[in-house]
Structure 1
Amino acid sequence: MGRPPKCRRVEFIPQCTYFKPAGIPLWNLEEVGLAVEEVEALRLKDLEGLEQEDCAERMGISRPTFQRILTGARSKVAQALVTGRAIRVEGGNFEYVARRLRCTGCRAEWEPDPSDLNEQQCPKCGGKELMTRPERCSRPKRGAGKYRVPKKR
């Protein structure tokens, strides 16, 4: 028996959770299920354009795990588009982590509106030079627990 899957950090919960082809009645439609962490992987890699290593770090998982999640998500979306199936976003193994922005000019911090994907600006000074600051998960990073495996020399 394998170990249980690690909880993934997610900074965005989609508001729209169901997508279907136009012109096909709902009762006559097959669905493809997409987990919330798969949507997060698509958002980080394809929408924000981050490198896989950075995406994996933000989600609190290894790069190979991120690659598997991303490949699965892309496959499901492609299957839905090509075969005319609906996409239902639900479930998964994730923990919502609020993302905070910090202005590099006045150092103000705030939590942006997750539905607003346009260019953000500081609400205090109007500056556009911003840094992303994810809040830390309460769970320790890999190897920080009681059963740390010593490095081989």
Structure 2
Amino acid sequence: MPRPIKWRRVQFVPEDTYFIPLNKRKCELEEIVLKIEELEAMRLKDIEKLNQEQCAEKMMVSRQTFQNIIDEARRKVAQALTEGKAIKIEGGNYTINICALKCLECGNVFEVNYENKERKCPKCGSMEVICVKKENFCKKKCSRINIE
């Protein structure tokens, strides 16, 4: 039995998620699906110019896993560009590190980075907050997305 896939941390989710070659209709195209974590790997390495170890650390994966992710991402992009295929960005196993919390004192709903140790309502300052999704204190499972 294979090990479960480890969540990959991403800091960027694109607004534009579909790219097609000019002069081709969407109905005529084959699609290449680029996972969110694959796009994040290319962003960290190719745009932010981080080394492999820094990229892996930011994504919370091993260096080998990072290399596998970026190799697959680059293969997909190269295939789409050379074969005139559309690129659809969606899915994967990733977390955006954001939790929606609700204050039990004033009812305010707000978002925080789940690595933030201080979980205090920005409206009233109360520490009595619960995770909106789990109705419990948030433990990294909020905002994890698993779409394959």
Contiguous gaps of at least 5 residues in structure 2: 99-112, 117-138, 141-148
Matches within 5 A, 1:2-151: 2-97=2-97, 136=115, 138=139
How far does residue 70 in structure 1 lie from its aligned partner after superposition?
Answer: 0.2
How far does residue 136 in structure 1 lie from its aligned partner after superposition?
Answer: 3.0
CA distance in 2, matches of 1:52, 1:16: 26
Give the TM-score normalised by the residue count of structure 2.
0.67
Q: Once the two structures are aligned, what percentage of the paired residues are identical?
A: 52
Partner-residue secondary structure (3-state), 1:33? strand
- 2:132 — aligned with what? none
Greater strand share, 1 or 2? Answer: 2
Partner-residue secondary structure (3-state), 1:11? coil
Moved over 2 A (4+): 134-139
Partner-residue secondary structure (3-state), 2:16? coil
State the Cα RMSD in Å. 1.6
Give the TM-score normalised by the residue count of structure 1.
0.65
CA distance in 1, matches of 2:86, 2:46: 21
CA distance in 2, matches of 1:25, 1:58: 38
How far does residue 21 in structure 1 lie from its aligned partner after superposition?
Answer: 0.1
CA distance in 2, matches of 1:46, 1:66: 13
CA distance in 2, matches of 1:18, 1:26: 10
Contiguous gaps of at least 5 residues in structure 1: 99-133, 140-153
Partner-residue secondary structure (3-state), 1:23? coil
Equivalenced residues, count: 104
